[in-house]
Amino acid sequence: MRADHLSAAATLRVDGLRKAFGEKTVLDGLTFDVSSGEVVSLLGANGSGKSTSLRCVVGLERPDAGTIVVDGVTGKPGEAMPTVAMVFQKIHLVPRRSVLDNVCAGALGRLGLSRSWSVLAFPRELQEEAMACLDRVGLADRAREKAGRLSGGQQQRVAVARALCQRAKVLLADEPVSALDPAASEQVMNLLRSLADDDGLAVAAVLHQPDLARRFSDRILGLAGGSLVFDSPAAEVDDDTVAGLYRPALEALEAAEAARTKEFA
């Protein structure tokens, strides 16, 4: 079921990504790739640069250096790439719009203004395609409900449908399940898995639960300090390797607490 790791055929290839905010270097030559049909998890401590790397790929941040290639096309820094979609932790649907309109919005990039100035202008074919995407995530029957009325897990699936409607080849997900309860998390991870398996998307997900990462992904990338620490098939990543990612952060925390206790004593 899980595709082999074929670096040569990578759909998304990120090479030498660098990004600094002021003095602070957040990404330090990050390089990785994700192939079609593959789910890759990114693990790393808070502040290790996971979100920043994804935001650079989709053009929400402008990297200082590095190239991003999708399907052989090199992206311009700081600009959106139509073939790359993103699913956020906080989902970011427009809560007052219907589920269907939210999904249609994924296609805005390829619509002229005359067919997108209002939801009333969305062409019939687009609405039909959006219904198909909603069906794919199992929510076709909720199409006309307000997006804000759905539960967290359902909203996250609508966000995936919006990404599908964008006709993306690469799906990036930044902590897609950390706001969800365990049952909803399973649903969403299953969906990501099936998008890779059945639809051939390249999926990269930032996760904070190593267990989920091991169960649902082909490869796991470990980030620390803005660069890659390991890149291994999911089965080969043991508990120690994972713990190593978070250790420096833990130590810092403990040092701070010790200092505070001393001050009190």
Partner 1 sequence: MSIATRPPEQAVPPRFRPSGIAVGVAITLGLIIVHWYAAVQTNTSPKELIEGWRGLWNFLFGLDKTFPNGKTIHQDGAFPLDLRWSETIRPGLEYCLLTIWIGLLGTTLSIPAALLFAIISSRTTNRFVPLWLAGRAVMSVLRAIPETVYALMFIAAVGFGAFPGVIALAIHNVAVMGKLWSESMDEVDQGPVEALRVAGASPVQTAAHAVLPAVMPSLLGLLLYRFDTNVRSSVILGTVGAGGIGFFIKTEVDSFHFDTMMTYVCMVIVLIIVIDLFSAWLRRKVGAV
Ligand X SMILES: Nc1ncnc2c1ncn2[C@@H]1O[C@H](COP(=O)(O)OP(=O)(O)OP(=O)(O)O)[C@@H](O)[C@H]1O
- Residue placing its CB nearer to partner 1 in the complex, 87 or 213: 87
Question: In angstroms, rounded to a whole number, what is the distance separating the alpha carbons of residues 123 and 78?
Answer: 29
Per-residue x/- track, 29-48, ligand X (CB under 6 A) = ---------------x-xxx
Q: Which amino acid is at 151?
A: S
184 counts as binding its own copies under rule CB under 8 A: yes
Positions 87 through 116 that interact with partner 1 (CB under 8 A): 88, 90-98, 100-101, 105-111, 113, 116
Question: Interacting stretch for Mg ion, rule CB under 5 A, among 51-59, 62-70, 79-87, 227-235?
Answer: 51-59
Q: What minimum distance in Å lies between the beta carbon of 14 and partner 1?
A: 16
Q: Which segments of 116-181 does DSSP mark as H helices, in order?
A: 124-136, 152-165
52 counts as binding partner 1 under rule CB under 8 A: no
Question: In angstroms, rounded to a whole number, what is the distance separating the alpha carbons of residues 153 and 1?
Answer: 25
Q: 41 has which bridge partners? A: 205, 220
136 counts as binding partner 1 under rule CB under 8 A: yes
Of the candidates 56, 110, 49, 103, the one whose C-alpha atom is nearest the C-alpha of residue 79 is: 56
Q: Which amino acid is at 60?
A: L
Of the candidates 182, 233, 229, the one whose C-alpha atom is nearest the C-alpha of residue 209 is: 182
- Name the site residues for its own copies (rule: CB under 8 A): 138, 151, 153, 181-184, 186-187, 253, 257-258, 260-261, 264
Residues that bind partner 1 (CB under 8 A): 58-60, 80-82, 84-86, 88, 90-98, 100-101, 105-111, 113, 116-120, 124, 127-129, 131-132, 134-136, 140, 143-144, 159, 162, 166, 169, 198-201
Residues of this chain that interact with ligand X (CB under 6 A) are 21, 26, 44, 46-52
